[in-house]
């Protein structure tokens, strides 16, 4: 458990609870349209953000993803200011202008959540270059999902971190899916962590459901810095970069996702039928002003398009729902 005192463990547990409660509340308020825009919740991945951030010092930095609330809270973000940002309020982290996917706070070393998959990795390299020049031993951790691993920019960032020996910790949160794309269809090797060897720095795979295992791996990665002579993990003395790959393979409940999509489709079925019925009513078409009828026709067209795309996504999800392999259990 390394340097984790009982108080620290309680603090980490409290932070995971805070993230879970925060996110559940967000879902509730998104569903009632109180929160505008799009949000992606971190429910189920709490142990990753908390395990990693517990290994960071206040001065260390992070870059986050489209699923960033958990990272920000774990890095010391004030839940009230994060929530205010989601509401678009002036007392939010970015005066309500950024919303869920752009929360940043330089004072806390949070160099931004990011709506672009993989885009946090080069930002982390830039921040790490600054940290290296500063020479105080700060590190920058870049969180990204399994959906980012085939992005060109992630490859470039990892290679740059390696050749420039930047103090970056790359944390891949592998929850098996990038929306509907299964990791099994996107990767020919079984462990994302094995890619680290190609860049020339060590990669570790840890169970993302185990906060202590995540913390220990992150602490090992963070411990190697420009001011540390001997790198851990038995790698070469010129070891550049650091990498922790977190495996959350047990996280996604595909069946529940499919059930939710089916419900959405049923609602759209009903809305399309109701709109068609209205437009089939000759009395309504004859009496209502032309502009009103045209608006109804446009709205029917939009609903039909929405129905078609939801139906296509559902078909894709059903097709992708491959039985889990025994070793995933």
Ligand X SMILES: Cc1ncc(C[n+]2csc(CCOP(=O)(O)OP(=O)(O)O)c2C)c(N)n1
**Residue 112 or 147: which CB sits closer to ligand X?**
147
User: Which residues are within 8 A (CB) of 56 and not within 5 positions of it... i.e. 6 or more apart?
Assistant: 62, 75, 109, 139, 141, 218, 222
Q: Which residue is nearest to ligand X (CB)?
A: 145
**Residue 251 or 272: which CB sits closer to Mg ion?**
251
- Which partner, ligand X, Mg ion, none, binds residue 198 by CB below 5 to 8 Å per kind? none
> Are 74 and 49 contacting, i.e. CB atoms less than 8 angstroms apart?
yes
- The interface mask with ligand X, positions 109-148, x = CB under 6 A, is ------xxx---------------------------xxxx
DSSP letters spanning 193-211? GGGHHHHTS-EEEEETT-H
Residues 37-56 that bind ligand X (CB under 6 A): none
Q: Residue 224, interface with ligand X (CB under 6 A)? A: no
Q: How far is CA 30 from CA 25, 35, 36, 187, in A?
A: 9, 5, 7, 33
Residue from 175, 206, 222, 268 in contact with Mg ion (CB under 5 A)? 175
Q: Residue 41, interface with Mg ion (CB under 5 A)? A: no
**Residue 66 or 132: which CB sits closer to ligand X?**
66
SS3 190: coil
Residue from 44, 70, 99, 145 in contact with Mg ion (CB under 5 A)? 145
Torsion (CA) 22, 63, 197, 45 in degrees, nearest 10:
0
Strand partners of residue 244: 171, 204
Place of tokens 């982290």: 93
Q: Which residues bind Mg ion (CB under 5 A)?
A: 145-147, 175, 178
Binding site for ligand X (CB under 6 A): 66-67, 115-117, 145-148, 175, 177-179
């Amino acid at each position: 458990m390394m340097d984790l005192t009982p108080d620290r463990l309680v603090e980490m547990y409290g932070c995971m609870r805070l993230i879970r409660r925060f996110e559940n509340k967000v879902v509730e308020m998104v569903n009632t349209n109180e929160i505008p825009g799009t949000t992606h919740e971190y429910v189920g991945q709490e142990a990753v953000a908390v395990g990693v951030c517990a290994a960071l010092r206040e001065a260390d930095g992070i870059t986050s993803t489209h699923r960033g609330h958990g990272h920000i809270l774990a890095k010391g973000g004030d839940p009230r200011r994060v929530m205010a940002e989601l509401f678009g309020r002036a007392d939010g982290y970015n005066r309500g202008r950024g919303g869920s996917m752009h929360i940043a706070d330089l004072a806390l070393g949070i160099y931004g959540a990011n709506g672009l998959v993989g885009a946090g990795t080069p930002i982390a390299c830039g921040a790490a270059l600054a940290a290296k020049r500063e020479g105080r031993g700060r590190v920058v951790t870049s969180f990204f999902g399994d959906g980012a691993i085939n992005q060109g920019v992630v490859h470039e960032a990892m290679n740059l971190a390696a050749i420039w020996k930047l103090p970056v910790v790359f944390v891949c949160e592998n929850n098996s899916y990038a929306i509907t794309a299964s990791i099994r269809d996107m990767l020919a090797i079984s462990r994302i962590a094995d890619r680290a060897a190609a860049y020339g720095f060590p990669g570790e795979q840890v169970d993302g459901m185990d906060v202590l295992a995540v913390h220990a791996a992150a602490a090992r990665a963070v411990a190697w810095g420009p001011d540390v002579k001997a790198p851990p993990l038995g790698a070469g003395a010129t070891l550049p970069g650091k990498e922790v790959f977190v495996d959350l393979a047990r996280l996604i409940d595909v069946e529940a996702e499919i059930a939710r999509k089916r419900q959405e489709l049923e609602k759209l079925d009903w809305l399309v039928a109701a709109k068609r019925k209205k437009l089939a009513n000759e009395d309504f078409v004859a009496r209502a002003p032309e502009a009103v009828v045209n608006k109804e026709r446009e709205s029917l067209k939009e609903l039909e398009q929405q129905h078609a795309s939801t139906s296509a996504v559902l078909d894709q999800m059903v097709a992708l729902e491959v039985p889990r392999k025994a070793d995933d259990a």
